[in-house]
Chain A
Amino acid sequence: MSTATSSLPRTIGAHAVLLTYTVIALFPVIIVIVNSFKSRAAIFGAPLAPPTPKTFDLIGYTTVIGQGDFIHYFQNSLVVTVASLFFVLLFGAMAAFALSEYRFRGNSLMGLYLALGIMIPIRLGTVAILQLMVASGLVNTLTALILVYTAQGLPLAVFILSEFMKQVSDDLKNAGRIDGLSEYTIFFRLVLPLVRPSMATVAVFTMIPIWNDLWFPLILAPSEETKTVTLGAQLFLGQFVTNWNAILAALSLAIMPVLILYVIFSRQLIRGITSGAVK
């Protein structure tokens, strides 16, 4: 490559811009976490300073853990996210396999029908979804949330997974058929293991909006028993407007699990996006 594309001033300029934006992106997150470990006086006295032994204080965390039912909310979120993810991946992969593997009448029409949901947000159907849940007695149950999120995640999952399943070699599947494997065995034993990396991508894409959603927990499951961590944090923050220690601690507690998961899976996520999974 010619030197013109990577001259020194240009490289320095690129780093300067990227570093500036990184600071902008991380600053609010860092300042919230840093201040959550400080005493009230220090939060207001020197908000930009890191906690020193003198200003270090965990009062915020003790308030949050004492007052809020965060462990319970956390469990709810975990149940909802994991269950929805399981159904999205299983049902999505099955449908994607049917669409990409078999020729049958109405195949492309079915693909189009399932792809509709990528562009039209499920939220617009909320009025009727609530009526449906009331009629079937599912209001204030985690089942309602799991059903809604499964429906919400399926269109994109089917779309992405069928793109990947088209790449699985036909010879392999036909070899399996000659050996007398049933179509179900071919799907579960041969195809699923091969598309595992793309399943992980879909999992990450499906998981983030479910974990962070506020709309459906607010409308379908606002009871104390079924609150998710996002809704719980929202209400908790509303109640403690004046207790800054508690607010900052609650925010930090909400940020950290997501951040840790992200750091673990970021390679997977970024590889998923850059491999052209989302076209």
Chain B
Amino acid sequence: MNECLQTIADYGLRSIGIGERLLPRTDFTLCQQFVLIGSGLIWNLYFVILSLAFGFVLANGLALAKASRNPWLRRPADGFIFVFRGSPLFIQFFLAYSALVLLPREGVQLLGLTLPTGWLTRAWAGALIVLTLNTAAYSAEIFHGALRNVPKGDLEAADAYGLTGWKRFRRIVWPTMMRLAWPAYTNEAIFLFHATTLVFFSAFPAIQQMGDSLYYASYFADKTFNPFVAYPIVAGYFILLTLCLIGLFGVVNRRLNRHLPGAAKRLRYRPNLFR
């Protein structure tokens, strides 16, 4: 037991570079596998939380642009969504990385300022950008579909109350759009969470062996030639966190539907695989 506490102290934050430098090499204990793989989850959570947050804002803008009558707004949004939804995330990672390493090492000169570029090729920035743009495209498609399904009656009622422009959007259209989109958006969040495991398996290198949970799991599986321990641990962690994610989105769903009689049911996650 004490030994395991020591392992937690040594490797609990290993994935962000705090603690023991060297990874265990021989005599792997179950505790080490649980701790290191759990430590890797920090990266999975980092990627999913930040890219969901940034992607959500971007997706709202894109959905409105896609629904706009102005072709100068609609066409670019359509193109962006087509490119990011039509190609594999894995290829997007590779393309982004190989483009980012082409930026000059010494930085870009802009208005007399030297902007450093090295950080863009690191996973924490580069992969985060790709994941954000990717989820923005998928979410925008979901939000756009929901926007088109906002009931006509709601808009007529808003007109009758004299609500117009921004106020009508903020108080009537947007909440309804969110309410309709939420189940599909929950699905997208889960897909995105699972997709974060791809980051360190695509082009982005894990510097000083600071990787995500799957990175450590495959490290253990490679070293022990035994896939039956490390991978089930990852799977267990992901099932738990996916359930947490569903719970969290369910709370929001209840809040979005609180005015509807009998709709305060739990959000049932039906994986309709819209991705």
Query: Are A and B a genuine interacting pair, yes or no?
Result: no
Interface residues of chain A, those whose CB is within 8 Å of chain B, are: none
Interface residues of chain B, those whose CB is within 8 Å of chain A, are: none
